[in-house]
Structure formats: C-alpha cells, structure tokens
C-alpha cells in the first residue's frame, strides 16, 4: 500500500489529532511488516541488544550495532518515520560526541534520533537539533540508567518523581525535541505531562492518556524471552515457528523433504559419469 511519508514535523502535528502508532523493528523483514501494517513510527531501539543479540541489558549495544540495524530497517521501510536510538556511551561524554553519533545514525538511514535522559542532556539535544536532526526524548524508566535507578521498576508514582519528570520534559521541549517517549511511568503522571507539553508523548507501559503508544515488535508477536508486564502479546509466533521448524526436522529425518517439487533435474543423461 502506498502511504504518505511520515516526517518528524508530521508526528509533532499529530498531537491532539489522532493517536500515534509506533513499534520497534531491528531488521529488514520486521521493518517490512511494520511498514505494511501502516505504523507511523519505526524505532530502531537499543532493546535490540536484549531482544535479538541476547545481551543481558542495553548497555552492551554499540554505535556500530545501531548503525547496522538502522541501515537494514531503512532499506525496508519507506513511509514510517525511522527513529534510531542513541546507544549507551554515544552521547554522555560530550556534546561533540553526541552530534557525531547522531550524524552516524542519520548516514545509516535514521530520520531522527532518540536519547535517554532529561535536563542533564538538554545541551546534547539542542546541539543535535541545531545540526538539523530531529530528536525524540525518552524519560521515566531509562534502561541505560538501570544500574543507577535500580532496575526496570515503574517511575513517577510519587509526587517527587512526577515533578522531576515534568521538569525534565519541559527542559527537553525547550531544547527542541519533537516528541517524548514516556517509559513505565504512572498513568496519572503521564497524563499530566501529556496535557502540559506542546509535543506528543509516546508511551510504553505508561497508560492510556498519551498521544501515542510504542511496543517492542517481538513482545507483540511473542518472540522475546524477557517480556515486560505492560506488553501485549497478539500472537504466539514462537509457537508457530517452533512447530514449523520441528516439522522440517522430522521431514528431513524421515526423508520427506525435499520432495519432487523442490528438486532440479539434469537436462541430459549423466549416468556415464557414475
């Protein structure tokens, strides 16, 4: 289906217009499916480290990993906005490192970048935006900070963290983000941030009062090993794939595969070579 190209400006304008649909994708086939499903945004998330590379957290993911996966997604997806996560270590040390990393992701095919953190990284956000690259913010549960904030627990359930969330969100807007991901924060805090901000909130595990939703592709289809409590599994693709692979193995062992339809025959007699 031919759809109109989604830009960062278009996402910004969707606030209050219609809900934004976002999903992660890490490779060519999953981006192709996301495109055909008509999603607005594909995030090449650093969750790929855990979901498709088997790492224990997102901290092991490198900029090279993100460049490679962003390029694969960009080759498949035409209409959705392609956002690339800035991995751990690619923006913390300096504003310059942040701009250089964002440029590498755009060269790979990203059309916007996302980075985790609030007012402490507002200078990075502003510099990347000044370089001409749209930036998506990411607040609440920030997995790259899991070591410091104590694991993958929900955030902003109390007044203190809710106020901090709002201040961080406002500082990101000031720095120029076109949208903000709110991960695993209370529905009440997410609603307040959503009402107070001029840019859309895209939520994961943060309730119903946001301008959009995002989930990890493999959680939706039942292909991830560690699934957060807030994800919804729409199909058990692991079961379907396991069944298919088991049948394949049985067929090979029983001599049922390949059969005549999967075979190519010689075009002249070869018996004399025998």
Ligand X SMILES: CC(C)C(=O)C(=O)O
Enumerate the known binding-site residues: 46-47, 85, 114, 116
Interface with ligand MHF by CB under 6 A: which range of 29-37, 75-83, 226-234, 264-272? 226-234
| 154 lies in the binding site for ligand MHF (CB under 6 A) | yes
Q: Name which of 30 and 47 has its Cβ closer to ligand X.
A: 47
Annotated binding site for Mg(2+): 46, 85, 116
Helical spans, DSSP H, in 150-186: 159-175
Which residues are annotated as catalytic? Answer: 183
What's the half-sphere exposure (Cβ side, CA atoms, 13 Å) at 207? 17
Are 205 and 184 within 8 A, CB to CB?
yes
Report the distance separating Cα 39 and Cα 6, nearest Å. 10
Number of residues that bind ligand MHF (CB under 6 A): 19
Number of residues that bind Mg ion (CB under 5 A): 3
Q: Name which of 24 and 70 has its Cβ closer to ligand MHF.
A: 24
| 217 lies in the binding site for ligand MHF (CB under 6 A) | no
**DSSP sequence for 48-67:** HHHHTS--SSSTT--HHHHH
Q: Name which of 48 and 160 has its Cβ closer to ligand X.
A: 48
Residues numbered 53 to 92 that lie near ligand MHF (CB under 6 A) are: 58
Out of ligand X, Mg ion, ligand MHF, none, which partner does residue 228 contact, by CB within 5 to 8 A per kind? ligand MHF
Q: What are phi and psi of 52, to 5 degrees?
A: -115, -10
Annotated binding site for 3-methyl-2-oxobutanoate: 46-47, 85, 114
Give how far Cα 223 sits from Cα of 69, 129, 217, 243, Å: 18, 35, 8, 14
| Cβ at position 259, least distance to ligand X in Å | 42
Tell me which residue of 167, 52, 47 sits closest to 114, measured CA to CA: 47
Q: What are phi and psi of 258, to 5 degrees?
A: -80, 155
């Amino acid at each position: 289906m031919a759809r109109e190209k989604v830009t960062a400006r278009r996402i910004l304008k969707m606030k209050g217009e219609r809900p934004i649909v976002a999903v992660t994708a890490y490779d060519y086939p999953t981006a192709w499916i996301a495109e055909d499903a008509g999603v607005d945004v594909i995030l090449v998330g650093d969750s790929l480290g855990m979901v498709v590379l088997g790492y224990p957290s997102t901290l092991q993911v490198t900029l090279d990993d993100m460049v490679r996966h962003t390029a694969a997604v960009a080759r498949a997806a035409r209409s959705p906005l392609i956002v690339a996560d800035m991995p751990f270590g690619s923006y913390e040390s300096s504003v310059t490192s942040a701009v250089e990393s964002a440029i590498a992701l755009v060269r790979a095919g990203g059309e916007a970048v996302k980075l985790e953190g609030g007012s402490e990284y507002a200078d990075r956000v502003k510099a990347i935006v000044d370089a001409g690259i749209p930036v998506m913010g990411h607040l609440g549960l920030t997995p790259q900070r899991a070591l410091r904030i104590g694991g993958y627990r929900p955030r902003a359930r109390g007044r203190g963290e809710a106020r901090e969330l709002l201040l961080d969100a406002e500082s990101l807007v000031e720095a120029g983000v076109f949208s903000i991901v709110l991960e695993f924060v209370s529905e009440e805090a997410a609603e307040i941030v959503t009402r107070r901000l001029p840019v859309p909130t895209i939520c994961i595990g943060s309730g119903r009062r946001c301008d959009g939703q995002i989930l990890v592709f493999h959680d939706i289809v039942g292909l991830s090993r560690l699934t957060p409590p807030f994800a919804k599994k729409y199909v058990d693709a692991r079961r379907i794939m396991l069944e298919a692979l088991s049948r394949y193995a049985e067929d090979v062992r029983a001599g049922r595969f390949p059969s005549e339809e999967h075979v190519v025959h010689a075009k002249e007699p070869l018996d004399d070579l025998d």
